[in-house]
Structure 1
Amino acid sequence: MSEKTALIVGGTSGIGLATARRLRERGATVHIAGRGKERLDGLAATDPGLIGHQADGGDRAAITALAERIGTIDWLVVTLSGSEGVGPIAELDLGMLRRAFDAKFWAHLTTIQAALPHLAPAGSITLVGAVTARAGMPGTAGIAALNGAVEALVKPLAVELAPIRVNGVSPGLVDTPWWSGMPEDARREYFAQAARALPARQVSTADDIAEVVVLAATNAGTTGTVIEADGGARLVSLG
């Protein structure tokens, strides 16, 4: 394939990093953006093939400056997330939920607007939501609204920005640093229980989801689509 240029915003860990590695394996020039200098410094040693940048997806000026330095971007992947937004509706801290929207939804929009002038006409934008957008899990109304808002961008933008392709990926349970706040034993037990309930009988890895993200980003015939990569979580109760 001819060399392409990718920008992964939120690409220093989890699904974003796994996606960056897969795109690099395909021969792309891959830029990753993240907020933490320490993590970027570590990746410079472990993944010298990736080009790291310290930039916050919610900072319009920072993403604009980064996109200008990169030049033409063929594949923009936005994998921004946060750990807030979960809780019973009666007790849900709305200030926390606003912060969660700032960290994910508004940061997605900010990144898209800032990078858009630099996207190749045959390029793509891939967003990452989550199964909570369409599942009925108690205690997830806030984060469901958040991920639903992100995934709702896909169809209208696919038409508005054509021929630039716009897609989304909707993961379910994924073993990533998002779960780092849970004690290791409790996390392992929860994942084992969930795997028994999931139709796929396994909790996904970041690389499992990255494979789907790469498909959405690179397949010339795919646009306006949210690919569900949740192991069937939307079909069952995970309690």
Structure 2
Amino acid sequence: MPHNTLQNQRVVIIGGSSGIGLAVAKQTIEQGGQVVIAGRSLDKLEKARQWLGNDGIEIFTLDNRNVEELKTFFDRIGSFDHLFTPGASYVRGPITSDLDVARSCFDAKFWPQYHAVKYGVPYMNPNGSIVLMSGAFSQRPLADGASYAACNGAIESLGKALAVELAPVRVNVISPGTIHTSFNWEGAEQAVRDKAYEAYTRLNLLGRVGHAYEAAHTTVYLMTNGYTTGSTLYPDGGYILR
């Protein structure tokens, strides 16, 4: 019997204390699902649980760059149905950037998702799903992020390869444009954030920045549509078509 809701499904979100991950947690609970959220900050996780208003939410501190912590995390939580892996912090720069900049997206975004799948799959329901997260820069790169574009493209290719390797577990990718969250430009002054958001409105067809709940809606669709796998969806306001 196909599942078109998350009712009674257990959803694991690595990076679920803010932004798109938190919005996915909220929509999961609204559909009657159970949520496990993991992140680096216990304080943020506690605030997320309070904001969601559900004492049944399981929270775990986790550095998703640490392979041993990831392995221990999945050993602790046991069986589940769906995995979403949005948590990442990185910088981008031109090809002349230092090696640390060039590697930052792979170190913070590609490998953590790769290892999360590696250690999470043994505990997954075979009728479940994995949703990875890349970014629309993969399809429409600007002039200041060669390694960032390559990383997002690699995640989208990884999604296809895993869909083949792990079937019948479904694997898809969400590749959003700029989404209005507190995570973007973390530590930057509000004026800097506002300027960046304003610039993005001129880069897409809809003329506005997206919202976390819109990207979350796409993620939940990929979890609940039992006949979609190996796909990448772009909730980007038409960024890649501009």
- 1:151 corresponds to which of 149, 152, 156: 156
Q: Which residue of 2 aligns with 1:54?
A: 61
- 1:226 corresponds to which of 224, 232, 235: 232
Distance 2:49 2:234 in 1: 32
- 1:182 corresponds to which of 179, 188, 207: 188
**With structure 1 as the length reference, what TM-score do the two structures score?**
0.91
Q: Is the 8 A contact 2:90 2:104 kept in 1?
A: no
Distance 2:188 2:205 in 1: 24
Instruction: For residues 135-167 of structure 1, give each alpha carbon's deviation from its aligned partner in whole angstroms, at most 9, with x where no partner exists.
Output: 131102121111111111111111110000000
Q: Which residue of 2 aligns with 1:74?
A: 81
Distance 1:198 1:159 in 2: 32
Query: Any idea what SS the aligned residue of 1:121 has?
Result: strand
Q: Is the 8 A contact 2:95 2:102 kept in 1?
A: no
Cα RMSD of the aligned pairs, angstroms, is 1.6
Show structure 1 runs of 4+ deviating over 3 A: none
- 1:20 corresponds to which of 25, 32, 37: 25
Q: Do the aligned partners of residues 98 and 75 (structure 1) sit closer, same or farther apart at CA in structure 2, a change above 3 Å counting?
A: same
Which amino acid in 1 is paired with 2:9? K
Gaps of 5+ in 2: none
1:127-206 equivalent positions in 2, closer than 5 A: 127-176=132-181, 177-206=183-212
196-205 or 217-226: bigger deviation: 196-205
Which amino acid in 2 is paired with 1:213? T
Distance 2:40 2:188 in 1: 22
Gaps of 5+ in 1: none
**With structure 2 as the length reference, what TM-score do the two structures score?**
0.90
Q: Is the 8 A contact 2:204 2:240 kept in 1?
A: no
Query: Any idea what SS the aligned residue of 1:171 has?
Result: coil
* Count of paired positions: 234
Query: Any idea what SS the aligned residue of 2:36 has?
Result: strand
